[in-house]
Amino acid sequence: MDKKQDFPMLMHYKDLVYCDSAATAQKPQMVIDRLTHYYTHMNASVGRGVYALAEQVTTEYEKVREKVAQFIGAQSSQEIIFTRGTTDGINFVATAWGDKNIKAGDEIVVTALEHHSNFVPWQQLALKKQATLKIIPINQDGSFVIKSVSDWITPKTKIVAMTHVSNALGVYNSHLKELVSAAHLVGARVLVDGCQAFGYQPVNVQELGADFYVFSGHKVYGPTGVGVLYIKKSVQFDVPPYQFGGGAVFEVKDESTSFREAPHCYEPGTPPIAQVLGLGAALEYVSACGVINIQRHVAQLCTQFIEGAQSIKSLRILGGVEHLTGSGHLVSFVVKDVHAHDVAAFLDTRGICVRAGHHCAQLVARALNYEASVRVSFAMYNNAHDVTRVLEALAALSA
């Protein structure tokens, strides 16, 4: 699979090796075309217009909601709420659900593997509510330090928030289903951050058992400014509207307001219409390529990189190669005596784009004792030649 020809920016910069898709993916032509088509042929608001153009846009907008529901195995499109992105979705839950359901003495469980977006909102909620924040530590290979799940999840636990795939190490959360089951046994809710999983592997929220699942459109070849928050139908009674405004209300009186049913009660104001339509195009593109094919392709590139990197003595891969070989779409590493930013700057002189820093996951960096790392992440538009160029550049840097 080499889909470079579908991505205009990569065809414009033909010598560019883009290996920062975990930060944001490039956009295929059909996504760009969908955005342009909306603004040039369909520009109207959704939900309230009774003229034909507005009704057409509303129909297309809701079709994307149905498409997302099918893509993630949701029971109903009513469980799909459009947000600004993963960070917005997590803050939505921490604010709307958290303010209502967390009280002093309750326990909030997170892991040391989390992106700051799935750590700081829970930390701040715990501080605000005088709840206890419990952080499951990680081993050097990125796995959780869990002797017994009951050490972490107790009758006081109200929510468990955890990643599906680590953005810093690329490792899969192998304890996910175990932790979900333990949480539900004590009546706790579960939020899964699917930002680095969705689009790279099949996702079925019902099989996972997640009460909340979040991801961003721009990491799955869609536009920026749009994401998805899945809220299980049986949990929605416990999640009041997060913000208030037009489109979300049913009736407003002087003394009270009643709200529309989900998902519309959670989406006040004019939504990101063009971005949602663009997300729909991105999902069509991913479907045409096949998620399993994408997963297999990027895993081969990861394996090629890991095997080649082992001959560069100054380079150390983080997270344990046994958890990355044959799976995953990203690899993080450090180069002895060379700061990660300098490595990235050197690669940039060779036309290679990578990410350097702590990747908004300082708990991971602290646990694995590094200040900053270099992250290469692959997508369907990368190929074996791209990996070879990265390895050759790193070998030259280390020579």
Could you list the active site residues? 360
Among all chains, which residue has been given the structure tokens 């219409």?
Answer: 273
Pairing of the two strands 189-193 and 352-353: unpaired
The two most distant CA atoms of the chain are separated, in Å, by 74
Among all chains, which residue has been given the structure tokens 């709420």?
Answer: 81
Beta bridge partners of 192: 162, 213
Pairing of the two strands 80-83 and 227-231: antiparallel
C-alpha 145 chain-centroid distance: 23
273-289 and 29-41 are packed helices; what angle lies between their axes, rounded to 10 degrees? 150
What is the Cα–Cα distance from 162 to 140, expressed in whole angstroms? 18
* Contact criterion met (CB below 8 Å) for 26 and 10: yes
Contacts of 175 (CB under 8 A, 6+ apart): 143, 144, 146, 149
384-398 and 340-349 are packed helices; what angle lies between their axes, rounded to 10 degrees? 120
Phi, psi at 160, each rounded to 5°: -120, 125
What is the Cα–Cα distance from 158 to 94, expressed in whole angstroms? 12
Which residue from 305, 341, 337 is spatially nearest to 321, judged by alpha carbons? Answer: 305
Which residue from 25, 340, 328, 368 is spatially nearest to 163, judged by alpha carbons? Answer: 328
What is the Cα–Cα distance from 41 to 364, expressed in whole angstroms? 47
